[in-house]
Amino acid sequence: MAGPRPPFLPLPTTPRFCLLYGALLGLLACALTFPLGAIFGPADRFAFEPDQQQHLAAIRYFAWDDWRWPLFLARPLGAPEGTNIVFTDGLPAFSLLVRLLRGILFWPDSNFLALWMVLCYALQGLAAVAALLLAGVRRVPVLLLGAVFALALPSFILRFSHTPLCTQGLILLGLGLYFRGRQPGQAAAMLEWGLLLCWLTLLINAYLYVMVSALFGALWLAALAERALKPLRALLLLALHLGVSLAIMWAGGFLAAEGAGVGFGLYSWNPLSLVLPQESFFFPNAPMVDATGGQYEGFSYLGLGLLLALLASLVAVRGRLWGPIRRHWALLLAVLALLLLALSNKVYLGSWLLLDLGEAPGFLGALRSSGRMVWILVYLLLLASLLTLPRRWGNAGVMLLVLLAALQVLDSQSYRDNLGQRFAQHEGPVLPAAPWNALMSEKALVEIQPDFGCSRDEQAKALVNTTVYRASQILAPSSTAYSARPLPRSCSQIASEGLFFRDLPADHLLVVVGRQDNLVKLALSSVGLRDAADICRQFKFGIACSRTWPALGLVDDYFKPVQTNAAQLFPAFHLGSSFRPSLKGEMAALTGPGWGEGAQAIWTLNGSAWLVLRPDSLPLRGLQFVLQAVLPAAPGVEAQDLWITVNGKELGRWRQEPSDKPFRAVLRFASGNATSDGLLLIGIHNEKPVSLPGATGGATLGLRVEQVTLQALP
C-alpha cells in the first residue's frame, strides 16, 4: 500500500510510479553527467578511449556479420579466424538485438554506446527503487533516495570507459530478489525470477553474472537450510541454473578453446579504497589507492554521504547486529567468498602487502579483474543503510538520509566533472574518420601490424584498437582484435613472415603503427614490403600501404608520401667496427621495431627485435655477425631458445641459460643475403620475454643486447 503523498510530489506514488521516477532520476543523472551533444551525436563522441572502441567494433562486426557457430563469433573481427565478442565485452544480448533490427532501427554508425549508457543510468535508478520495494520499503522518499544514492556511487560513475560494467543495476535487482525471497512463502518465486536474471546477466557481462549468481546461490542455500524450499524443487532450480547457463556458454562460445586470462592478482581490490576519499569533491588531491598498478579495477570508494549513513546505521542498531547476521548468514557467506576473490592471491592494505599466497591457479585467469567483485558489498551496504535508518529512527532517519544524499551527490561531483573534462578534451578517436573511411572502403582485409597480442607497448595497443574501430565503421574486416583471453602465438614468426618479404594483394590495406621513424625505414626500404616506396604513405602514427589510393584531397592531405632511399634512411655501417646498443646516437638509426630502453643497454621486446644495417661494402665471400648479449638471471626468467635471421633466413639457433655474464653468438653468411640495395635486416629472436619487477610501465624484457659487430670474412 502506498504511503501518503508528499506535498512536493503531486504525482501518483504507487510502487509502479516510483519505479518510473527512479528511471527518470537515472535519465536526469545521465543528462547532467554527459554532454547532450555526445549522447545524441555521432558514435565517435562515445568512442575516444580504447575500451570503448573495442566494445563498439565488436557490436558492429557481429551485428552485420552472418550467423555463425558458436553464436557470438564475428568472423570479420580478427579475420580470417574471427573473434568471439564474448571476450571483447561486446554486449552479446544488445548485439543480438542490434542484429535483429539492423537496417530498421540501427546502422553501423549508430551511437550504440551512448544508447547503452542511457539504459544503464535508467536501470540504475529503477533497480535501486525495485530493490527497496522488494525488501519491503514503502516510503516514497526512501525509495527515491535509494535511486539518488545509487546514481551517485563513485564506483558506478567511474566505470564509464567499460560500458558493459555500467550495468550494475543488475546487482541491485539480485539483492532485491534475495530480500524478497527471505520473506515467508516467497523463496521459490524469487528463485525463479532469479534464474531469468542470471541468464540475462550472462549475456551482458560475465563478472556481473558471477555476482548475481552468488546472490541466487545465497537465497537458494538459505531457503534450503530453513526448509522454505523442498529438496527436490531446490535441486531442480539449481540444475536449471547450471544447465541453462552452461547451454548458453556452449552455444555462445564461452567455453571455446581460448588462452588463459592474465592479470589475476594485479587487478585486485584494496580494502582501503572502500573508505578513503580518493579524488572526491571534498578531497580533490587525495590519490587513488593502488598498490599494484591495476587496483583501479577494485575502486570502491563509497562516497562521503554513504559512509556517514553507514556510521549512523551502526549507531542506530547499537550492537544489535547479531540478529541480521544470523538471519542473512547465507548472503554474508556469498559476499565473503566474492571478497576473497576480490582480494586475490596478494592481499594489500594500502601500499602494504599483508599476504602473498604464491602463484594463483590458472583457472582464476577467467576472473583476472577480480577486484570488481567488491561491488556486491558496495550495494549491500547501500541497501543496508537505507533499510536501517528509517526503521530505527523513523522520520528523523529519513531526514538524515535526505541530508546525506545531498552530501553524496556533492562529493561525487568531481567524478562527473572528470567525465565532462574527458569529453571536452577528446572529440573522438585520434585517427580521423574521413581519410580512413575513404582508404578502407571496399577493402577485403585491413591488415594491422603489430598484431594486438604481440604488442606490449600501450601506445601501440591503443593505435591498433583505434585502427580496428575505424575499419569497423565501414565493416571492413580487420586482421587483429583485442581479446581478454587470446590464444598463445609466436610473435616472432608473425613479425618475420607477416610483415617482411611479401606482396600486398590489391584488395588489402596494410597499416603498421608504432615508432614512426623506424617504421618509415622498414616500410620504405626493400627489406620490407615489395614496392613500398610506391605504395606506402606515412601518417602521424605509422605507415599505410595500399595498391589503390583514392584520388581525394582529404586522403592526400593526411597520408604523405616519403621520398627517400636506403642511403638516406640508414647510415653506412663500417665493417669491422662495433657498437654498444643505446637508444641515443648511432643505435637509434639502426633499431627497428621490438626494442625497449634499459639503463645500460637495450632489450628485445615481444620475442623479436630487428637491426637494419647497411654495410659500407659487401665483400665477395661473405660476412660474419657477432652478437654479445645477456639473458638476465632474474626471477621468472627461464632458459630459452634464441636465434638470428638475416633477411628472413635463419642462420643459427641455440639454447641459452640465464646468466649475468654475456655470451657471444658468431654467425657467418654469404654476401648474397643482402638485398639489392645492400641492406641487412637482422632479426634477434627469443620466445619467452618476461616481466621484471620494477620495470617501467610493466615493460616485458627479454634479451639484453650489449654489443654488435659486423666483419668481412677473410
In whole angstroms, give the CA distance from residue 571 to residue 584: 14
> Measuring CA to CA, how many Å separate 111 from each of 108, 265, 322?
9, 35, 50
**Which H or E element spans position 346?**
strand 346-349
Q: Is residue 605 pLDDT above 90, yes or no? A: no
Question: What whole-number percentage of the chain has pLDDT above 70?
Answer: 86
* pLDDT single digits (tens) 87-127: 999 999 999 999 999 999 999 999 999 999 999 999 999 99
Q: Domains of the chain, with CATH numbers?
A: 15-41+111-422 (no CATH), 433-569 (no CATH), 572-712 (2.60.120.260)
The better pLDDT of the pair 93, 288 is held by 93
Instruction: State the chain's mean pLDDT as an integer.
Output: 87
Least confident residue range of 111-120, 151-160, 681-690: 681-690
* pLDDT single digits (tens) 615-649: 888 887 889 988 888 887 877 777 888 888 888 78
Contact 667, 653 (CB under 8 A): no
Give φ, ψ of 595 to 5 degrees: -115, 145
Of 307, 308, 312, nearest to 389 by C-alpha is 312
Q: What is the DSSP letter of 183?
A: S
Contact 468, 57 (CB under 8 A): yes
3-class SS string, 159-180: CCCCHHHHCCHHHHHHHHHHHH
**Which H or E element spans position 352?**
strand 352-356
Q: What is the DSSP letter of 478?
A: B
Instruction: State residue 375's pLDDT score.
Output: 98
**β-pair type (73-74, 640-646):** unpaired
Contact 275, 405 (CB under 8 A): no
Q: Is residue 2 pLDDT above 90, yes or no? A: no
Instruction: State residue 488's pLDDT score.
Output: 60
Rounded average pLDDT over 464-491: 86
**Which H or E element spans position 409?**
helix 375-411
**Which H or E element spans position 61?**
helix 50-63
Instruction: State residue 491's pLDDT score.
Output: 57
Instruction: State residue 169's pLDDT score.
Output: 98
Least confident residue range of 102-106, 338-342, 388-392, 482-486: 482-486
From the number of C-beta atoms within 10 Å of its C-beta (0-12, 13-18, 19+), residue 287 rates as: exposed
Q: Is residue 374 pLDDT above 80, yes or no? A: yes
Q: Residue 497: which pLDDT band, with cuts at 50, 70 and 90?
A: very low
C-alpha cell at 526: 626493400
* pLDDT single digits (tens) 10-61: 566 677 789 999 999 999 999 999 999 999 999 999 999 999 999 999 999 9
pTM comes to: 0.86
The better pLDDT of the pair 263, 248 is held by 248
Rounded average pLDDT over 78-89: 93
* pLDDT single digits (tens) 528-540: 666 777 888 999 9
Rounded average pLDDT over 460-476: 94
C-alpha cell at 234: 531446490
The better pLDDT of the pair 587, 406 is held by 406
Q: Residue 364: which pLDDT band, with cuts at 50, 70 and 90?
A: confident
In whole angstroms, give the CA distance from residue 15 to residue 36: 30
Contact 172, 133 (CB under 8 A): no
